[in-house]
């Protein structure tokens, strides 16, 4: 894996190559949230992206950079669901095979949709198996290429296309200095968004948002080096359970992020209900943490907020329980 962080030129080139192949997801003003908080609030509705999350951006950008012979042999991804779907859909776009190493307890909707894109799934036990080693072994056996979920310059550059969209869309709303709240797992979306906005909207502040007990970015930013999460939180935000920030992603995030926030399960559930009731959007727990931080009043200042709704792949039963307010 290339360990060099992407540049803004890489981001612009990746964005140009993705033009017309990804959904340019809308930036929506969340007026009800704004009324509650006394400041303008927007959401970047990446739940409307192909596969239901931002991961398709990075997967397609990665495959685009492979030479045709290597690409034809296919890719292997390891994922709790969203990256797997993104990798599978990107592979399908090129007509090449994909295998996804996925935890046995991944949400059923994510597994089903990954298979729906034509990928093979190999399951693993989160507690005892090494998913990266499994993916590497499959890649070696079949001559495939491992498509990393976040810690690769091509993937980060693809995710960064979201940041360039935010900058342009904020301009249309007359917003120049937003605080952008970005869900953080491995840190690829944060890193890409921050890299893009540092160039396209320098007055913006990008803040990582994590579940309580999985706040490795907050710990790492305060320590100035990569720190592991205590892993004491629940698995509600299943897409954000990376135990430690990526090497490349943290090299960017420690320089570009304005900070990090952590939200608890009750705040996440409240954000999911708010998005459904007020915005008519379906958001998965991990995708709702930015909005959760906004609604809980965690973001400093009184300027405009942009909460990235990074994914919408949530099991129907869990979603119904959350909307009904019956989940503990």
Name the 3-class secondary structure at 207. Answer: strand
Strands (E), 90-216: 98-103, 120-124, 145-146, 179-183, 205-211
What tens digit of pLDDT does each residue of 270-282 get? 999 999 999 999 9
What per-residue confidence (pLDDT) applies to 146? 97
- 325 CB-contact burial (10 Å; exposed 0-12 / middle 13-18 / buried 19+): exposed
Q: What is the spatial distance between Cα 217 and Cα 262, in angstroms, rounded to a whole number?
A: 10
Count how many domains the chain has: 2
Catalytic residues: 55, 310
Q: Which of 151, 166, 188 is the last residue of a domain?
A: 151
Whether 59 and 127 share a structural domain:
yes
Distance separating alpha carbons of residues 303 and 262, to the nearest angstrom = 20
Q: Domain check: are 41 and 186 in the same one? A: yes
CA distance 159 to 140: 27
- Pairing mode, if any, of strands 41-45 and 27-29? antiparallel
In a 13 Å sphere around the CA of 82, the CA atoms on its Cβ side amount to 32
Rounded to an integer, what distance in angstroms lies between the CA atom of residue 168 and that of residue 241?
31
Instruction: Note whether residue 98 is domain-resident.
Output: yes
Residue 101 main-chain phi, psi, to 5 deg: -90, 115
Quick one: tokens of 8? 């803004």
Contact yes or no for 189/182 (Cβ under 8 A): yes
- Residue 328: the pLDDT is 57
One domain for residues 28 and 66: no
Question: How buried is 68 (Cβ within 10 angstroms: 0-12 exposed, 13-18 middle, 19+ buried)?
Answer: exposed
The answer to whether the CB of 193 falls within 8 A of the CB of 182 is yes
- Determine the structural domain holding residue 286 and report its residue range: 8-54+154-324
In a domain, 3, yes or no: no
Domain endpoint, select from 121, 136, 151? 151
The reply to whether 189 and 133 lie within a common domain is no
Q: For 132-155, what is each residue's pLDDT tens digit?
A: 999 999 999 999 999 999 999 999
Mean local confidence (pLDDT), 16-21: 97
Residue 79's pLDDT is: 86
How much is the average pLDDT of 14-26? 98
3-state DSSP assignment of residue 93: helix
Select from 73, 249, 69 the least CA-distant residue to 146: 73
CATH number at residue 283: 3.40.50.1100
Q: What is the pLDDT of residue 1?
A: 41
Mean pLDDT of 284-304: 97
pLDDT tens digits along 208-244: 999 999 999 999 999 999 999 999 999 999 999 999 9
Q: How far is CA 316 from the centre of its chain?
A: 20
- Please tell me the predicted confidence (pLDDT) of residue 105: 85
Task: Please report which confidence band the pLDDT of residue 320 belongs to, taking 50, 70 and 90 as the band edges.
Answer: very high
pLDDT digits (tens, 9 = 90+) for 74-109: 999 998 789 999 999 999 999 999 999 998 988 788
| pLDDT beyond 60 at 28 | yes
Q: How far apart are CA 119 and CA 102, in angstroms?
A: 11
What is the average pLDDT score of the chain? 95
**Among the listed residues 149, 145, 95, 143, the one whose alpha carbon sits nearest the alpha carbon of residue 119:** 95
Looking at the structure, tell me whether residues 253 and 174 fall in a common domain.
Answer: yes
In this structure, are 116 and 264 located in the same domain?
Answer: no
Does residue 68 form part of some domain?
yes
> What is the distance of C-alpha 110 from the center of its chain?
14
pLDDT of residue 57 exceeding 60, the answer is yes
Distance CA 75, CA 135 (A): 10
255 in the same domain as 314? yes
Quick one: 20 and 169 in the same domain? yes
Q: What is the pLDDT of residue 180?
A: 98
168 has pLDDT over 50:
yes
Give the span between the Cα atoms of 119 and 197, in whole angstroms: 34
Residue 46 has a pLDDT of 98
Establish if 1 belongs to a structural domain: no
| Listed residues 151, 168, 192: the one ending a domain | 151
- How much is the pLDDT for 327? 57
Q: Are residues 194 and 222 in the same domain?
A: yes
Are residue 66 and residue 102 in the same domain, yes or no? yes
Task: Tell which residue, 150, 165, 23, 160, has the closest CA to residue 87.
Answer: 150
Q: Is residue 2 part of a domain?
A: no
């Amino acid at each position: 894996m290339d360990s060099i962080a992407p540049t803004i030129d890489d981001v612009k080139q990746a964005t140009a190559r993705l033009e017309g192949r990804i959904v340019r997801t809308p930036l929506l003003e969340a007026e009800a949230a704004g009324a509650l908080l006394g400041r303008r609030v927007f959401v970047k509705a990446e739940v409307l992206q192909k596969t239901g999350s931002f991961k398709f951006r990075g997967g397609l950008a990665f495959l685009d950079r492979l030479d045709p012979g290597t690409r034809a042999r296919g890719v292997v991804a390891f994922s709790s669901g969203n990256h797997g779907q993104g990798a599978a859909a990107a592979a399908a776009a090129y007509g090449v095979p994909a295998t996804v190493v996925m935890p046995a307890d991944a949400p059923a909707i994510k597994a089903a949709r990954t298979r729906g894109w034509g990928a093979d799934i190999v399951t693993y036990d989160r507690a005892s198996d090494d998913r990266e080693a499994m993916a590497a072994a499959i890649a070696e056996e079949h001559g495939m290429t491992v498509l990393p979920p976040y810690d690769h310059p091509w993937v980060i550059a693809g995710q960064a296309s979201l940041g360039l969209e935010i900058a342009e869309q904020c301009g249309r709303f007359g917003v120049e200095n937003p605080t952008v709240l970005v869900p953080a797992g491995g840190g690829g979306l944060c890193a890409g968004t921050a890299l893009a906005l540092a160039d396209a909207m320098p007055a913006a502040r990008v803040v990582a948002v994590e579940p309580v007990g999985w706040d490795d970015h907050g710990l790492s930013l305060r320590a100035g080096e990569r720190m592991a999460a205590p892993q004491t939180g629940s698995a509600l935000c299943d897409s954000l359970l990376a135990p430690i920030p990526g090497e490349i992603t943290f090299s960017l995030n420690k320089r570009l992020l304005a900070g990090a926030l952590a939200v608890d399960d009750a705040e996440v559930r409240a954000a999911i209900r708010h998005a459904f009731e007020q915005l008519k959007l379906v958001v998965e727990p991990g995708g709702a943490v930015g909005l959760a931080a906004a609604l809980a009043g965690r973001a400093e200042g009184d300027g405009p907020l942009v909460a990235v709704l990074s994914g919408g792949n949530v099991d129907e039963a869990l979603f119904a329980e959350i909307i009904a307010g019956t989940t503990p």
